[in-house]
Amino acid sequence: MKVFQTNEIRNIALIGGAKSGKTTLAEAMLFEGGVISRRGSVEDKNTVSDYRPIELERQNSVSASILYTLFDNKKINIIDTPGFDDFCGEVISALRVADTAVMVINSQNGVEVGTEITWRYSTRAEKPVIFAINHLDQEHANFEDTFRQMKQQFGKNVALMQYPVNAGSGFNAIIDLLKMKMFKFPQGGGKPEITDIPASEKSKAEEMYTTLVEELASKDESLMEIFFDKGTLSEEQMQTALKTGLISRTIFPVLCTCAKQDMGVARLLEFIAGNVPAPDEIPGVKTKDGKALNCKVTDPASAFIFKTSVEQHLGEISYFKVYAGEITEALDMINPNRQSKERVSQIFIVNGKNREKVEKLVAGDIGATIKLKNSYTNNTLNSPKNADDIIEPTVFPDPKFRTAVKARSTADDEKISSILNELAKMDPTLMMGYSRELKQMILQGQGELHLNLAKWHVETLEKIPIEYYAPRIPYRETITKPAKSMYRHKKQSGGSGQFGEVHMMIQPYREGMADQNDFPIRGRDVIELEWGGKLQMNNCIVGGAIDARFLPAILKGVMEKMEEGPLTGSYARDIVFNVYDGKMHPVDSNEISFKLAGRNAFKEAFKNAGPKILEPIYDVEVIVPEDKMGEVMTDLQGRRAVIMGMDSEGNYQKILAKVPLAELNRYSTALSSLTSGRATYGMKFAEYAQVPGDIQDKLLKAYEEQEKDEE
């Protein structure tokens, strides 16, 4: 294949809700470009895009597929993305490297949940958007209603470029307002006959054409002058206005397709080839030091890995976009994220699972390589000339759904940990880790479906049965008032024994607090606890009652109990303990004796110091349709949420709340049920706060029962 130059490349992401027809449209695009000789179908499980076992089984995309087609001497890179929000990471990474989004809408259903959600992602990514209204041959297709919803939802800049003559089961013709021609398709689709607009549609088309020309002229003052002077614009002038409007997101063109019958697809490709900005016509990406990479082939080579996956019989494959210079075979590059060297041994252009070797890719193009040693998603690869440039990483959403996971056979626990960690490496929105605190393996993702597919992978492909169960909550324990205690550890069993006595006063720790006045402080250690908060030890020993060499042992004993709090076995935090007296034995005192004495003295004092359990509180942001606000607010209040504020985001309302983690288990499923899938949310850890008294009593009782069961 020829090496396409930057101005000959177009990068698009197909986005939209599930069942809108993105994969079928991608298949038709490849067929129209001559890249494949026959079109597959989702139902026949033979599309280029959906080739993974889980996609064949479910008959919908769960991972973004990188594809390309050729049209009008242009190479059009296509990223076909999943439609379910559980796989939003695939959409976000696709939008990061695509220069334009093509939003596919099912004309039977109009603006759906998936349309609204992916529109928000495209808006945050500040990408140009083209709308393709699809499934126009279906009995319940309703173009007018769909377009009305789009105007209402996405604003006045949604601009009609085409409309169907006869949407529904007899659909076979499109009026193209840019060319002012009718495209009439043969039965079963294919190459259209291009004719003059029939008299029955002439008046409607001319009215729409005038509206379109006015919209385009308004994007540029010089074009507005031409329009006022001549009353129209040439096709070339309209094309200029379109590109300007796309880049500035002041126009969102609407085209018509029936991907299944291959109607309107070639014209959509022609529109993309002629109007979508090339990679060097849009703002460049920024490096961490603020430098812009504008897809100039004359700059030193720089590429960004936006996706990593494992392919059967091939191993790890890294998908990248070239943001500067040229990437050639056998090129030695630097990964500044990991301070390592990589050799790009082979370069491929990709169509799903099919790969074709090429010798070179230039700035703006998308390709893949294999067997990189130490480079993954969000890593930059540079030539030695610009070795330190790090392209700003894609920001993925924090996890929203968590579960504990274990193998049915404990012998397989280590295996599933390794498998799930590899999955998380490929999917940045999936997080896996063992919690030493909770003594559970915790898997986190974007929703129940997301984690269920991880389970499918482990059980179906790796043949290891696993179980999901409710994760424990990482509570914290602390105190609210000072308390004193004394503990003597004495053990005699022939020969040298054990002896250590510790007198201790504990008190709550607060930043900037004044020292206690009961005992003189002769030394202190302040420890930043890895689980949050602090522990401070004050040495208040007078007259050598306890030798200084035993103080580290006392601290060690206290730390052991801090890691397993007296109330529920949770981590303790924010405590000061003052060792002010004690006793030693000239023969029997040793480190173990004082470690045990310190541990038990701390435990006794803790119980008398107004102990409290703290729970993790999360900042939750819910984006919800206005008509569902009442149900969502009521549900949040039932989850002990504190509503912090409300705001609007487009046609949606944003609710900001602080919610205990204990109340957020399976919240994504509940929210979806409450709003028919139309709401989304994000959550981020905020703070620890005291649990209400009735809940603390329940937790204490549950821990006591657990302790009895383990005895």
d(C-alpha 633, C-alpha 646), whole Å? 11
Contact 280/204 with Cβ under 8 angstroms?
no
Contact 103, 130 (CB under 8 A): yes
Tokens of 224: 């507005």
Q: Contact 379/660 with Cβ under 8 angstroms?
A: no
Euclidean distance between CA atoms 113 and 528, whole angstroms:
45
Do residues 705 and 697 lie in contact, with contact meaning Cβ atoms separated by under 8 Å? no
Query: Is beta strand 571-572 parallel, antiparallel or unpaired with respect to 476-478?
Result: parallel
Q: Strand, coil or helix: what is 407?
A: strand
Please give the backbone phi and psi of residue 544, each rounded to the nearest 5 degrees, phi first. 70, 30
Region for residue 330 given its phi and psi (left: phi exceeds 0; alpha: psi -120 to 50; beta: otherwise): left
Cβ–Cβ contacts within 10 Å for residue 656, how many? Answer: 14
Of 157, 126, 150, nearest in space to 256 by CA: 150
Domains and CATH numbers, the chain: 6-204+250-280 (3.40.50.300), 285-382 (2.40.30.10), 401-472 (3.30.70.870), 477-610 (3.30.230.10), 615-694 (3.30.70.240)
* Contact between residue 11 and residue 72 where contact means Cβ atoms under 8 Å apart: no
Query: pTM for this one?
Result: 0.88
Cα(64)–Cα(352) distance, integer angstroms: 9
Query: How far apart (Å, rounded) are the C-alpha atoms in residues 623 and 113?
Result: 12
| Residue whose tokens read 């769909």 | 146
Nearest of 268, 256, 23, 13 to residue 133 by alpha carbon: 256
Instruction: Judge whether 256 and 25 are in contact, CB under 8 Å.
Output: no
148 by DSSP, 3-state: which? helix
pLDDT of the residue at 318:
96
What 3 state SS string does 216-266 have? HHCCCHHHHHHHHHHCCCCHHHHHHHHHHHHHCCCCEEEEECEHHHCECHH
> Which pLDDT score, from 0 to 100, does residue 231 have?
80
The strand ranges marked E within 16-140 are: 65-71, 74-80, 100-106, 129-134
Q: For residue 179, give Cα distances in angstroms to 3, 43, 189, 211.
A: 31, 35, 20, 14
Please state, in angstroms and rounded to a whole number, the distance separating the CA atoms of residues 208 and 580: 88
Distance in angstroms (rounded) separating the CA atoms of residues 337 and 375? 8
Per DSSP, helices labelled H in 573-692 are: 591-607, 629-638, 667-675
pLDDT at residue number 709: 66
The closest of 677, 657, 501 to 84, measured between CA atoms, is: 677
State how far the alpha carbon of 341 is from the alpha carbons of 381, 388, 422, 562, in Å: 9, 12, 22, 43
For the chain (711 residues), the mean pLDDT of every run of 10, in chain order, is 94 95 96 94 92 88 95 97 93 97 95 89 96 95 95 93 93 95 91 95 94 86 82 84 92 96 96 96 93 95 95 87 96 95 94 93 97 94 93 94 94 92 92 92 94 94 94 95 96 82 97 93 94 96 92 96 92 97 92 96 96 96 90 95 89 91 92 87 93 94 78 52
The candidate with the shortest Cα–Cα distance to 264, out of 77, 25, 49, 99, is 25
User: What does each C-alpha distance from 518 to 317, 558, 599 come to in angstroms?
Assistant: 66, 21, 22
Q: How far apart are the first and last CA of the chain?
A: 72
